Amino acid sequence: MKYKDLIGKMTLEEKASFMSGKDFWQTQNIERLGIRSMFLSDGPHGIRKQAEAADHLGLNASIPATCFPTAATIANSWSVELGEQIGDYLGKEAVVQKVDVLLGPGINMKRNPLCGRNFEYFSEDPYLAGKMAAGYIRGIQSHGIAACVKHFAVNNQEERRMSIDTIVDERTLREIYLTAFEIAIKEGKTKTVMSSYNQLNGSYTNENIHLMKEILRDEWDFDGVVVTDWGGSNDRVAGLVAGNELEMPTTAGETNEEIIQAIQSGKIKEDVLDECVDRLLELIFATEEVHTNSQQEFDMEEHHKVAQRAAEESIVLLKNEGNILPLNKGVKVAVIGDFAKEPRYQGAGSSIVNPTKLDNVLDGFDQSGIINIGYEPGFERYGKKNTTKMDKACTLAKESDVVLFYMGLDEVTEAEGLDRPSLKIPDNQIQLLNSLYKVNPNIVAILSCGSVVEMPWLDKVKGLVHGYLAGQAGASAILRVLTGEVNPSGKLAETYPLQYEDTPSYHHFPGKEVSVEYRESIYIGYRYYDTTNKDVLFPFGYGLSYTTFEYSDIQVTKDEVTFKLTNTGNVAGMEIAQLYVGCKSDDIFRAKKELKGFAKVFINAGETKTLTIAFDDKTFRYFNVKSNQWEIEEAEYEIILGASSADIRLIDTIVVEGTGAPLPYDKDQLPTYYSGKANDVAVEEFESLIGYKVLVAKWDRSIPLGYNDTIAQCRYAKGGSARLAYYVMVFAHWFLIKIGKRSTANIIMMSVYHMPFRGIARMTGGVLNMPMLDGILMMVNSHFFKGLNHVLKERSNKVKVAKVIKTKAVATKEI
């Protein structure tokens, strides 16, 4: 241990208190030993340090900071260098705000397009997500602070996220859901990792020895700090044993006492606690320079320009019929859509940033060279039909050469804590689009949303520019793309299916009560669509440019692939060349091809550049469940270069020597997986894959409700008062939506409906402790008066204990 002497001076009580927060965002300090508090802040795409009352839902305003494009947006840039630059600027702002640990980036896989937090994650591909995350981490940590990669792991739905049990086979866990974390830790060298809320194959992630010790610590040699997601601790002692140093937020000493009792009773050795304290001390001292740095401010204008460049490089041009874009100088445009005046530029929840400034497209036309003849909102932002607004928009559209239609998803549709109900754009926007098309078919749609949507309306637009959630400078960036000042170079980091029913996890998302089964195994995103030759709307890696590129002269060696890339158009631009690898053997089931490298390069018109993409330790590997390690299958492999996963330009082959591992599967038992058509696998075949019987994914109504059951399950409660409370909550949610208070309705779902009972204690900072929660559960389980008496008794005891502690503290201070 590095800090053995210092730890030797700490009492058991001090060490135990060190393992949970001082308050909502700060760690404990020990003044007598000169150990300071650290400040942790949300911040995947901007610092969210709250100036007033702290919360984890983004309800209270934070100190102004640059709102960069979200991770889902930046992933479309395919630029690790851009990710590192954004991280650099995030780090600068964190230092100014005295933030020690920046809680990001988030790198969970986009298993299903309905996951409510997809806007905060990079991709459906682990290699792309991992590389982008590593860039962010290097940039953030270059300023002496810590990045915190999250949420570790398989946290791919928001519904019941604090208690759902994710059932996934070991190979899929390693290849799909952990690879991005592996890259972030080994290449980014992140100093902290945030454990996720959910269970993984039967145990909560921050207590999961296989995940936290065998993989994270032993295989990946991670020696940093693991912090729980806020309120995400279940069994504090089990978490400590698994190597979870820091529980957040504060529990007002309640879980500290659990640690002390476990050590005093001999349940665990004090050495376990000491190791965790040592790692936390290392983080505190490693981030010390944050507090010695005298910088009081940052250049807001410079940071805003960086946010604009980031957005420009991430915007994706999805359709350009008849070369309607870029717009010619002097063209008359009608600007229509509520999102033009009130831009949708970030997600909702714990990542909400209070921007230093916010660009608006309506302010930018004077310098653009195009003529804006007027603006009409056209539709109500939150879905209500408004015929008057629609008529005014159509009247304006008739007078223009081109209609710029700003459409998308509103702030309450994509939010932390709940999943989206569908992939659809609100009907009132589509009705308006159809009406606009009748009066002026020259429509360019500018789409603002953080995740996949269906587009049955695509034939009604000639141009489609997807800005995703482009941050505070996104409006200016999009306008520069529309006018041709910027040649779009973004490519999709996720697949757009024709309809939601086509997605491989359609039949098993979300898990509703007890568990969610990842029956599709390795076949998520393009791995499924390409393997089964399923038609999609836009493939993974797709994006148009105002120029064209030609690939030629592929050469493959055992270490790399080299090829030439020529800009065959009339304007300079950037191309993203993608390397996919496909194994030609059918002894082990695999996706048809997998992303194993990429390169983004700027090329002038008529210029040719030679590019090389090196192979690495992930190029040919697969995880063998028999040998329980990474292996290479001896086989012939296709080396594939494409402009997208569906637009293949060059192919060559190479024979790769294998590691001689035994074949991991019996083909006869897994026919669906070998076919790749794994969108609706029978439970028996899934059980053959994972090696055990899955539990019934329904709650057992004969068992009383407990700590890890959600408040939503009060519908099954034996106590009539609990059932009544449940139906009142459901009615309140329905009523709030009915009267247009969708944001408030969402809060009910996020912070109450799907919250497990233990979360009430964990998230209230000790206001309601576990003994009081025991009383509430008695009331829920039909012992109302006994439970009420227990709650009042424990509350009285809590108040008495608090008075004694306060008296002792005053006495100690006077001495």
Is the residue at 706 inside a domain?
no
Residue 607 shares a structural domain with residue 664: yes
What is the H or E stretch that residue 192 is in?
A: strand 192-195
| List of the chain residues with pLDDT < 50 | none
The SS3 assignment for 7 reads helix
Helix (H), strand (E) at residue 623: strand 621-624
Separation between Cα atoms, residue 608 and residue 611, nearest integer Å: 10
Q: Which helix (H) or strand (E) holds 609?
A: strand 608-614
Q: Which residues pair with 406 in a beta bridge?
A: 446
Which CATH number do you get for residue 646? 2.60.40.10
Look up the CATH number of the domain holding residue 61. Answer: 3.20.20.300
Whether residues 491 and 390 fall in one domain:
yes
What's the pLDDT score for residue 747? Answer: 81
Residue 334 located in a structural domain:
yes
453 close to 409: Cβ distance less than 8 angstroms: yes
240-275 residue pLDDT tens: 999 999 999 998 888 999 999 999 999 999 999 999
Q: What is the predicted pLDDT for the residue at 89? A: 98
Task: Tell me what pLDDT residue 701 has.
Answer: 74
- Residue 702 lies inside a defined structural domain of this protein: no
Contact indicator for 504, 679 with CB cutoff of 8 Å? yes
Answer yes or no: do 282 and 316 share one domain.
Answer: no
Domain membership flag for residue 700: no
Cα 807 to Cα 786: distance, rounded to the nearest angstrom: 32
| Cis status, amide bond into 249, omega within 30 of 0 | yes
What does the angle CA 594 – CA 175 – CA 221 come to, to the nearest 5 degrees? 130
Other beta carbons within 10 angstroms of residue 460's beta carbon come to: 17
φ/ψ of residue 40, rounded to 5: -105, 140
Where a domain ends, among 690, 721, 756?
Answer: 690
pLDDT of residue 58: 54
Q: How many domains does the chain have?
A: 4
- Spell out the alpha helix ranges (H) of 34-125: 71-74, 80-96
Q: Domain of 370: which CATH number?
A: 3.40.50.1700
User: How far is residue 770's CA from residue 257's CA, in Å, rounded to a whole number?
Assistant: 12
Asked if residue 285 and residue 260 are part of one domain, the reply reads: yes
Looking at the fold, whether 320 and 350 belong to one and the same domain comes out as: yes
Q: Is 208 helix (H, G, I), strand (E, B) or coil?
A: coil
- The string of pLDDT tens digits covering residues 731-770 is 998 888 888 788 788 888 877 888 888 888 888 777 888 8
Hey, which residues are catalytic here?
A: 229
Q: For the chain, what is the largest distance between any 2 Cα atoms, rounded to a whole number of angstroms?
A: 84
Could you tell me if residue 697 is inside a domain? no
Nearest to 251 by CA among 796, 706, 777, 770: 770
On whether both 223 and 316 belong to a single domain, the answer is no
In this prediction, residue 59 carries a pLDDT of 57
Given this model, what pLDDT does residue 748 score? 82
> Are residue 736 and residue 676 in the same domain, yes or no?
no
Give me the amino acid identity at 525. Answer: G
488 within 8 A of 543, measured Cβ to Cβ: yes
| Same domain as 474, residue 571 | no
Angle among Cα 230, 232, 233 to the nearest 5 degrees reads 120
Judge whether 415 and 349 are in contact, CB under 8 Å.
Answer: yes
Q: Which two tokens mark 319?
A: 């359709």
Query: CB of 656 within 8 A of CB of 632?
Result: yes
Domain boundaries, position 660? 517-522+531-690
Say if residues 347 and 308 touch (Cβ distance below 8 Å): no
Concatenating the DSSP letter of every residue in 695-735 gives PPSS--TTSPP-TTSBGGGGGG-SSHHHHHHHHHHHHHHHH
pLDDT at residue number 415: 85
pLDDT at residue 53, rounded to an integer: 59
Whether residues 655 and 634 fall in one domain: yes
Domain boundary, last residue among 265, 292, 319: 292
Name the pTM for this structure: 0.95
Residue 576 lies in a domain: yes
pLDDT of residue 770: 87
The candidate with the shortest Cα–Cα distance to 410, out of 119, 161, 123, 124, is 119
Phi, psi of 25 (to 5 degrees): -125, -10
Domain-located, residue 592: yes
Q: Is residue 703 part of a domain?
A: no
Picking from 509, 542, 564, the residue at the C-terminal end of a domain is 509
Helices (H), 486-603: 526-531
Could you tell me which of 798, 781, 766, 765 has the C-alpha nearest to residue 707?
781
Coil/strand/helix, residue 600:
strand
Q: Which of 134, 194, 198 is nearest to 165 (CA)?
A: 198
Residues 648 and 762 in one domain: no
Residues 250 and 139 in one domain: yes
- Judgement on whether residues 362 and 213 belong to the same structural domain of the protein: no
Q: What pLDDT is attached to residue 702? A: 80
